[in-house]
Amino acid sequence: MTAQIIDGKALADELRASFKSRVASLAAKGQRPGLAVILVGEDPASQVYVRNKVSACEALGMHSEKIVYAATTSQAEVLTKIAELNANPAIHGILVQLPLPKHIDEDAILEAILPEKDVDGFHAENVGALAQGNPRFIPCTPYGVMKMFEKYGVDLTGKEAVVIGRSNIVGKPMALLLISAGATVTVCNSKTRDLAFHTRRADILVAALGKPRFVSADMIKPGAVVIDVGINRIPEGPDAGKLCGDVDFAAAKDVASLITPVPGGVGPMTITMLLANTIESAERVLKERN
């Protein structure tokens, strides 16, 4: 079997095109969607992510603000900025790029963002709402994966879904969404005994562990839907430095029925769903105002 490739880039383009009219309509009503992105420090990967987020906003005619602090900036200074952005009506979404430098308490920063502007969906109130099956903002990466299932007609009801990884950003919200969709969900972590036993039972396998090409073809059930969230650099060999996922794509595509590539799979969807959350936030403000 050769799997159908899930084209995350094409789906992201299609969704972004559909957002244009929503942004224009909001702008015409004085509610142009606005996103503020805070970056603390000089992590090169974070710099690229922030730049991409800001330019994605601009491409849609959204308002965006990039706030960059030195790695030595105090927590108090960042909190002051968040309070300012919370009160700014031109800003509908606030995102603090993670990871933060060690002297800054990540939880304190995330909890300071107004839940109504928490477009990453990381505030405890929004995590709780998601867990209750009544989300305000769905974290962008798992939200993008759910859009892929929708686009490719993957019915999750009654399916065995296995998520590798239990992070707050990907694994846990992904599992919650799969539960809400009616799948039977197993969440694996680095302590899981016999990971392959679990993955081989998966009709839906989501790999989010951050280990290059870790999931081999013999860990995949024939005909499974495989979603590769991982973004890694190949450490050595002829492809050293190139991007790859957590799944051995070249071999896995001969076993799976549907599979995401890296790059061009989940990655483009993440920023797209950040735009979606910011637009939804602005639409909510407009609705409340009327």
Active site residues: 53, 97, 120
Sign of the C-alpha dihedral computed for residues 85, 90, 95 and 97 taken in this order: negative
CB of 60 to ligand NAP, least distance (A): 18
Residue with Cβ nearer ligand NAP (135 or 267): 267
Closest to 100 measured CA to CA, from 88, 112, 87: 112
In the complex, minimum distance from the CB of residue 197 to ligand NAP, in angstroms, rounded to a whole number: 12
Which residues face 215 on adjacent strands? 247
Nearest one of 196, 199, 194, 231 to 212, comparing CA atoms: 231
- Please give the distance of CA 175 from its chain centroid, rounded to a whole number: 13
Strand order across the 93-96 sheet: 63-69, 34-40, 93-96
Nearer to ligand NAP, 26 or 229 (CB): 229
Please report, as ranges, the residues that interact with ligand NAP according to CB under 6 A. Answer: 141, 164-167, 169-171, 188-192, 195, 208-211, 229-232, 266-267, 270
Radius of gyration of the chain (CA): 19
Length of the chain (residues): 290
Q: Considering the complex, state which of residue 88 and residue 152 has its C-beta at the smaller distance from ligand NAP.
A: 152
Residue 44: CB atoms within 10 Å = 7
Task: Find the shortest distance in angstroms from Cβ 21 to ligand NAP.
Answer: 26
Nearer to ligand NAP by Cβ, of 77 and 105: the residue is 105
Specify the amino acid at residue 17. A
Beta carbon of residue 80, minimum distance to ligand NAP (angstroms, whole number): 28
DSSP at 263: S
Closer by beta carbon to ligand NAP, 22 or else 211:
211
In angstroms, what is the minimal distance from the CB of 146 to ligand NAP? 14
User: What is the residue type of 6?
Assistant: I
- What is the helix (H) or strand (E) element at residue 5, kind and residue range? strand 4-5
Taking the C-alpha atoms of residue 34 and residue 282, their distance in angstroms, rounded to an integer, is 8
Q: Of all residues in this chain, which one has the CB nearest to ligand NAP in the complex?
A: 167
Two structure tokens written together for 205: 């396998």
